[in-house]
Amino acid sequence: MFYRDAGELKTSYAQEQAIFPVALDRRAVIGVVCAGALMPLVAGPYWLGSILLPFLILSLAAIGLNILTGYAGQLSLGSGAFMAVGAYAAVNLVIRLPMLPFPVSFALAGLVAGAVGLAFGLLSLRIRGFYVAVATLAAQFFIEWICTHIPWLVLNTPSGVVSTPTLFLFGFAFSSVPSRYLVAFVAVVVLALLAKNLVRSSAGRALMAVRDHETAAELTGVDTARAKLTAFAVSGFYCGVAGALWSFLYLGTVEIEAFSLHRSFQILFMIIIGGLGSILGSFLGAAFIVLLPVAIANAAVLFGGALKPDVLANLELMIFGALIVSFLIIEPNGLARLAVKAKERLRRWPLAY
Amino acid sequence: MSRSPGTRRVPTLAFACALGVAAFTAAVSLPVSAQSPAPGAGKPMEQFVPIAIYRTGPYAPGGSGIYGAYADYLALVNARDGGVNGVKLVYEECETGYQPDRMIECYERQKGKGPTGAAAFTPSGTGGVYALIDRMTADKIPSVTIGYGRTDSSDGRVFPYFFPLISNYWSENTATIRYIAEREGGLEKLKGKRIANVVMDFAAGRETQAILDAQAKRYGFEVTTFPITPPGLDQRAVWLQVRQYRPDWVLFRGWGAATPTGIKEAARAGIARDRIIGWWWSGSEEDVTPAGDAAKGFITAQFHATGPNYPVFEDIKKYVYAKGAGNVEENRIGSVYYVRGVLHGVAVTEAMRTAMAKFGNRPLTGDEVRWGLEHLVMTADRIKELGLEGLMPEIKVTCADHEGDGAIRFQQWDGAKWVMISDWIKSDQSMVRPLIEASAAQFAKEKGITARDCASETN
């Protein structure tokens, strides 16, 4: 009743091929984008800069990994490393080639990360399944090693940590919290729509065919090598841009510890909890992983007097773990699947089925 | 089994939705209410002090010890003295898990609390220090880090809000070379000596390379660096190479589990432990106890003394732990990490006291505490009054020098406890300072910062 997709008659090919063919979906997406764009008017700097900004950037990384793991079925433990490639490439481009406008630098940094992703993707042509995961794990360690051992990459700073310069575009400095938020917001909206478009194209269907059954895909004429390499390159690009945004807009530094194996796992958990093979799931999973610890920590303050601080710190981890387990028991396919179910429920409400 | 599949699914879905809504509501509503600054009207004589801490994760022993002790010292000042000149300290922990992104979140959440905002922030990790430079400078809230932090932020002209107090890694390195010279019988005896520099292969490990090379050139000794891949759980090959090099002295920058592992491998390779000098992050009880007998004789640099027998610890036991208000296990009082936390507390409260002498006995803003830190002088008399005699070196912080010209002591593990084996040794600022200024100047250039002119700041 509330969610209606019946009776929408398409009268042109353009309507048939729209990214969001159902009017209600389209309006919801437009509504969310408008709300996000207007967020700086209502949200304070804490919310914009410390909650929404990291959420958006990690969502982008999750989309990148989802294309590779959720859509193409290639398990990757190297997303942190691909983020690092993007971040290091971006800081070098921005500082060494200051004449480039920063969106160009970031896009180039994404391309560099995509190329590195492609190089490690070549391994997936020879090996499958968990062996690919191990190859990406090798990428993680290899890239971490490169980033800490070539002083040129960190502009020869003795500590190995580069402070990112303020971003300028047409003389405007992107240093305030709302401006940094809006840069990330625009990047994420554009790239998320592109990703949504990619996965419903023939290239996207090829990815899913490889995921579902590689041999069958090959027999039906899908170029599996091309599909896998596309997935690695696109995933590298998305993670790379996310890494650049993470360094420039959130951390303010480029250092390898921000892109360790811990980060790779964090992004993998996001897409597992959010939903493999779903762009929406990438956002839901990122929201879960980023927002929940903060929410628990804030809720814990309410019991501040009653509980010892060391108990509280560990309780936070326990509650977080319990929530992950309970969500996965309720819906093993992730939060995105819950959203789909809710949609079905809203469609037939108040009828049972 | 008469229910249809459709109705059976409802409770699960409803439960899931409820869970989701609950989590979301918690996320949305609580931080907002927690974030809104407490009204200053009701309780004006309060100063908020945020405590970023890591009680979880791989480095929890360090985090809980240091920042738990920091909270203990603030509790002591409240209970014994009624706060700093009558201004009560209100503090709140925020768990970072040693992750820089969560340190940022903690900072943003806590910076505005209390009637005047945070007095100072202790980022609790070097990653957090680097990430917070722009934010804390913009918010005018000082960062106090003791024993870690961004080395070149010792140049207060470029980093007005950053205070890596007492000593930094470069200063420590020059003091270590001076200590070796003392043991060898003079700086001229360093000529021709071979020093193996065994470092964890991360930023803070490699950071001393330049200063070490400069000293090798000046004093005529030879340095070879042997990197250990983090986390450093397999070091056998490295220590065999060190053995082949036949060093006179070994400098060891281990961290976490790498320290006891390295000591054990050194013992196996037959390298005398009393010729190995660690940095201070190898110098806690937690670093040597797992190595057992192999650690006997191991020397490390230290910027403070240790042991439970100082008046300040007796006060903490009496005023804080006797009331059950302690923040760490009572038997850790006086241990290495605990002392470091107390020193954080001393630095922040004494800076507030210094600032109050100028601005009056009232809650201070971050910028006023920054002024206090820049005029902080810890004389031997004041250190004694606070019950810290022998525990910390004298320091004098200035606008240009945010380190305070502290000093280093050396300690040796006797199998059960750390024994102090040297007096305070000054670092060689004639070598350290030019490197710091050059590095800070490069940062200023990249960021477009004009360095402050300290001479023109009369007050």
What digits encode the pLDDT tens for the residues A180-199? 999 999 999 999 999 999 99
Query: What is the distance between the alpha carbons of residues B340 and B164, in angstroms, rounded to a whole number?
Result: 13
List the single best residue of A2, A167, A310, A348 to mutate versus B (max B Cβ within 10 A). A310
Asked if residue A92 belongs to a domain, the reply is: yes
Cβ-contact B46, B5 below 8 angstroms: no
List the single best residue of B93, B141, B168 to mutate versus A (max A Cβ within 10 A). B93
- Give kind and range of the element (H or E) at residue B411: strand B407-413
Q: Does A353 touch chain B (CB under 8 A)?
A: yes
Residues 219-258 of A with CB under 8 A from B: 250-253, 255, 257-258
What digits encode the pLDDT tens for the residues B149-162? 889 899 999 999 99
Low-confidence winner among B184-188, B368-372, B442-446 (lowest mean pLDDT): B442-446
Give me the DSSP letters along A283-302.
HHHHHHHHHHHHHHHHHHHH
User: Residue A13: helix, strand or coil by DSSP?
Assistant: helix
In whole angstroms, how far apart are CA A91 and each of A185, B136, B138?
20, 22, 22
Q: Does A42 touch chain B (CB under 8 A)?
A: no
Closest-CA residue of chain A to B65: A310
Nearest-neighbour CA in chain B from A274: distance (Å): 12
What is the distance, to the nearest Å, from the Cα of residue B243 to the centroid of all Cα atoms in its chain?
32
Q: In this model, does residue B82 exceed pLDDT 70?
A: yes
Structure tokens, A128? 């499958």
Structure tokens, B142? 């000082």
Structure tokens, B279? 């940095």
Cβ-contact A274, A58 below 8 angstroms: no
Structure tokens, A273? 């909890």
Structure tokens, A45? 């700097």
Which residues, other chains included, contact B83 with Cβ-Cβ below 8 Å and sequence gap of 6+?
Answer: B45, B47, B77, B89
Nearest-neighbour CA in chain A from B48: distance (Å): 15
Return the pLDDT at B1. 36
Type of residue at A123: L
Of B75, B13, B160, nearest in space to B342 by CA: B75
Return the pLDDT at B99. 86
Q: Is the peptide bond before A350 cis (omega within 30 degrees of 0)?
A: yes
Cβ-contact A254, A132 below 8 angstroms: no
Alpha helices in A12-160 (DSSP H): 13-16, 23-42, 45-46, 53-65, 79-96, 102-121, 130-149
Residue B450 has phi, psi (to 5 degrees) of -95, 125
Q: Exposure string (b/e) for B145-177, b if CB count within 10 Å is 16 or more?
A: bbbbbbbbbbbbbbbbbbbbbbbbbbbbbbbbb
For tokens 């090099």, name the residue: B245
User: A313 and B53 in contact by Cβ < 8 A?
Assistant: yes
Of A310, A318, A268, A314, nearest in space to A289 by CA: A268
User: B135 and A316 in contact by Cβ < 8 A?
Assistant: no
What is the distance, to the nearest Å, from the Cα of residue A163 to the centroid of all Cα atoms in its chain?
24
Q: In chain B, which residues have their Cβ closer than 8 Å to the Cβ of A317?
A: 56
Q: Which residues pair with B224 in a beta bridge?
A: B196
Query: What is the distance between the alpha carbons of residues B247 and B266, in angstroms, rounded to a whole number?
Result: 12
Q: In this model, does residue B218 exceed pLDDT 50?
A: yes
Of B384, B202, B399, B422, nearest in space to B303 by CA: B422
Q: In this model, does residue B199 exceed pLDDT 90?
A: yes
Query: What is the distance between the alpha carbons of residues B240 and B262, in angstroms, rounded to a whole number?
Result: 11
Question: What does pLDDT average to over chain B?
Answer: 87
User: Residue A179: helix, strand or coil by DSSP?
Assistant: helix
User: A257 and B127 in contact by Cβ < 8 A?
Assistant: yes
Cβ-contact A207, A72 below 8 angstroms: yes
Return the pLDDT at B35. 40
Cβ-contact A239, A86 below 8 angstroms: yes
Q: Which residues of chain A have pLDDT under 50?
A: none
Nearest-neighbour CA in chain B from A10: distance (Å): 31
ipTM: 0.88
Q: Does A50 touch chain B (CB under 8 A)?
A: yes
Total structural domains within chain A: 1
Low-confidence winner among B14-18, B177-181, B368-372 (lowest mean pLDDT): B14-18
Q: In this model, does residue B304 exceed pLDDT 70?
A: yes
User: B4 and A258 in contact by Cβ < 8 A?
Assistant: no
User: A327 and B16 in contact by Cβ < 8 A?
Assistant: yes
User: Residue B253: helix, strand or coil by DSSP?
Assistant: strand
Q: In chain A, which residues have their Cβ closer than 8 Å to the Cβ of B134?
A: 163, 175, 252
User: B13 and A163 in contact by Cβ < 8 A?
Assistant: no
- Rg, C-alpha atoms of chain B: 24
Return the pLDDT at B10. 40
Average pLDDT over residues B389-393: 91
Q: In chain A, which residues have their Cβ closer than 8 Å to the Cβ of B328?
A: 310
User: For residues B231 and B386, which has the higher predicted lDDT (pLDDT)?
Assistant: B386
List the single best residue of B2, B67, B130, B137 to mutate versus A (max A Cβ within 10 A). B130
Closest-CA residue of chain B to A291: B27
Query: What is the distance between the alpha carbons of residues B419 and B405, in angstroms, rounded to a whole number?
Result: 24
Torsion over CA: B220, B226, B232, B238 (sign) = negative
Torsion over CA: B232, B235, B237, B241 (sign) = positive
Asked if residue A325 belongs to a domain, the reply is: no
Q: Does A160 touch chain B (CB under 8 A)?
A: yes
Type of residue at B246: R
What digits encode the pLDDT tens for the residues B5-55? 434 444 444 444 444 444 444 444 444 434 444 434 445 689 999 999 998
Q: In chain B, which residues have their Cβ closer than 8 Å to the Cβ of A297?
A: 94-95
Q: Which residues pair with B222 in a beta bridge?
A: B194
Packing angle of the helix pair B311-319, B336-359 (nearest 10 deg)? 90
Return the pLDDT at A351. 83
What digits encode the pLDDT tens for the residues B228-283? 987 888 899 999 999 999 999 999 999 888 999 999 999 999 999 999 999 999 99
Residue A48 has a CB neighbour count (10 Å cut-off) of 22
Torsion over CA: A72, A75, A80, A85 (sign) = negative
Asked if residue A313 belongs to a domain, the reply is: no
Query: What is the distance between the alpha carbons of residues A278 and A283, in angstroms, rounded to a whole number?
Result: 9
User: B207 and A331 in contact by Cβ < 8 A?
Assistant: no
User: A326 and B19 in contact by Cβ < 8 A?
Assistant: yes
Q: Which residues pair with A122 in a beta bridge?
A: none
Domain that holds residue A242: 21-259
Torsion over CA: B364, B365, B366, B369 (sign) = negative
> Burial of B33 by CB count in 10 Å (0-12 exposed, 13-18 middle, 19+ buried)?
exposed
Average pLDDT over residues B327-349: 94
Geometric angle at alpha carbon B456, from B452 and B459, rounded to 5°: 105
Nearest-neighbour CA in chain A from B111: distance (Å): 10
Cβ-contact B55, B63 below 8 angstroms: yes
- What helix, strand, coil percent values describe chain A, rounded to 5? 75, 5, 25
User: A252 and B201 in contact by Cβ < 8 A?
Assistant: no
Asked if residue A14 belongs to a domain, the reply is: no
List the single best residue of A177, A266, A294 to mutate versus B (max B Cβ within 10 A). A294
Give me the DSSP letters along B337-388.
HHHHHHHHHHHHHHHHHHHHHHH-SS---HHHHHHHHHT-EE-HHHHHHTT-
Asked if residue A267 belongs to a domain, the reply is: no
Return the pLDDT at B40. 41
Biggest alpha carbon distance in chain B? 95
Phi-psi region of A37 (alpha: psi -120 to 50; beta: other; left: phi over 0): alpha
- Give kind and range of the element (H or E) at residue B251: strand B249-253
Q: In chain A, which residues have their Cβ closer than 8 Å to the Cβ of B55?
A: 309-310, 313-314
DSSP strand pairing (A172-174 vs B143-146):
unpaired
Asked if residue A59 belongs to a domain, the reply is: yes
Structure tokens, B390? 């022998």
